[in-house]
Structure 1
C-alpha cells in the first residue's frame, strides 16, 4: 500500500500552459488528489481522470483571466490532461501490484 501512496503523491501536480496574451505563456501548477479512490477499480480511475479534467479546466480557463473570447482553451486542457495520463496509468498499475491476490 505504501507504493500506492507514493504513486498518489507523484500525481499531485498538474501543469497547464496558460496563454495570457499573444506570445506570452506561463505554467500553472495545480494539485489533484486521489484521496478516497481505489485505483484497482476502473470506476475510481475514471473519477481520478474526471478530477484531472476539472483541474485542467480551472488551470486553462480561470475565472479571473481577461479573455477575448468566452470559449474554453481546449488545446490547453488536452495538453494538461495528456501530461498527467502516464502518472495515472503508473498509479493504477502500482495499485494492482500492491493489491492482495484475493482482491484481483
Structure 2
C-alpha cells in the first residue's frame, strides 16, 4: 500500500509543473503608434516615441476590460512587446539620422 501511495504521489508531482505551465498561447495584438510630429534624429523625440510604445504595450498587456486575477501589471508581457518593436525603432532612428526619412 505504501508503494502505491508513493507512486501516485510521484506521478502527481511530475504532472504538476506541466499543468502549471499549460498557459494559453500568447495572443498577437497590433497597435498603431504614431511618430507624427517627432524628429527621430533627436534623442528627446526618440524618448517620446519610446514612451508612446510603452503606453501602447501597457494598454495591450493590461486592458481595462480584463478580469484581473492579480493586481500586478503584466510586466513580462510589456517587456516582450517593447522588445518586439525595438528593431523597427532602431531602423527608423537610423533612417532619420541618415536623412532617408521625411521629416514633418
RMSD of equivalent CA atoms: 1.6
Distance in 1 (CA, whole Å) between partners of 2:26 and 2:86 is: 22
Instruction: Look up the match of 2:99.
Output: 98
Q: By percentage of residues, which structure has more strand?
A: 1
Distance in 1 (CA, whole Å) between partners of 2:29 and 2:68 is: 17
Off by >6 Å, runs of 4+ in structure 1? none
TM-score of the two chains, using structure 2 as the length reference: 0.71
Distance in 2 (CA, whole Å) between partners of 1:27 and 1:41 is: 31
2:34 is equivalent to residue 33 of structure 1? yes
Instruction: Look up the match of 2:24.
Output: 23
Instruction: State the aligned residue count.
Output: 79
Please report how far the alpha carbon of residue 24 of structure 1 lies from its aligned counterpart in structure 2 after TM superposition. 4.6
Query: Structure 2 stretches of 5 or more lacking a match?
Result: 1-22
Query: Structure 1 stretches of 5 or more lacking a match?
Result: 1-21, 100-104
Q: Is the radius of gyration larger for structure 1 or structure 2?
A: 2
Distance in 2 (CA, whole Å) between partners of 1:97 and 1:24 is: 40
TM-score of the two chains, using structure 1 as the length reference: 0.71
Please report how far the alpha carbon of residue 28 of structure 1 lies from its aligned counterpart in structure 2 after TM superposition. 1.3
